[in-house]
Amino acid sequence: MKDVRDALMIARDSNGKLVRRPMSPHLQVYRWPISMALSILHRVSGVALGVGTLMLTWWLVAAASSDNVFDRAQWFMGSALGLLLLFGWSVALIFHFFSGIRHLFWDAGQGFDNPTYNTTGWAVVIATGVCSVLVWVVGLAVW
């Protein structure tokens, strides 16, 4: 024990053995409700998009350089790995976009009751799926 507050975290289990009490919230025993999964996904997608800005930066720098450099960047984005990264980036962006709008409604004090929570949560998932497919179908058709 490094901290006196730790004393509250020590208890005995049914066999009388000293154990450390589990922390709340008990993430490992919860059935994951949709809002919990989406909340963590909002963070994960945000961090992923942060990494994705490197790709945006590279593309803009390449566009500001020569034809040669730009062609190389375009070639990479069109390669299997490039397309996979772009796909992940687009799904993260679309998800973060819809989930972010859901957050903005909460900030305005709307949609806090449980049924609305679940409905808007699934709406975000469905909108992300539909829009991701749509973006790629149209994108590949233009390409």
Which residue has tokens 């025993």? Answer: 29
Strand partners, 18: 12
Nearest approach, Cβ of 24 to another protein (angstroms)?
16
Residue 49 touches another protein, criterion: CB under 8 A:
yes
Among 7, 8, 18, 142, binds another protein (CB under 8 A): 142
Residue 37: CB partners within 8 Å, gap ≥ 6? none
Span of 18-26, 39-47, 109-117, 118-126 interacting with another protein by CB under 8 A? 39-47
CB 11 within 8 A of CB 21: yes
CB 9 within 8 A of CB 21: yes
**By CB under 8 A, what part of segment 74-113 binds another protein?**
74, 78, 90, 93-94, 97, 100-101, 103-104, 107
d(C-alpha 77, C-alpha 80), whole Å: 8
Using CB under 8 A as the binding criterion, the count of chain residues that bind another protein stands at 33
Among 3, 13, 67, 113, binds another protein (CB under 8 A): 67
Among 37, 40, 56, 84, binds another protein (CB under 8 A): 56
For residue 98, the one-letter residue type is F
Q: How is residue 112 written in tokens?
A: 């806090």
> Would you give the DSSP letter of residue 50?
H
Q: How is residue 83 written in tokens?
A: 């397309």
Which residues of the chain form contacts with another protein (CB under 8 A)?
A: 43, 46-47, 49-50, 53-54, 56-57, 60-61, 63-64, 67, 70-71, 74, 78, 90, 93-94, 97, 100-101, 103-104, 107, 135, 138-140, 142-143
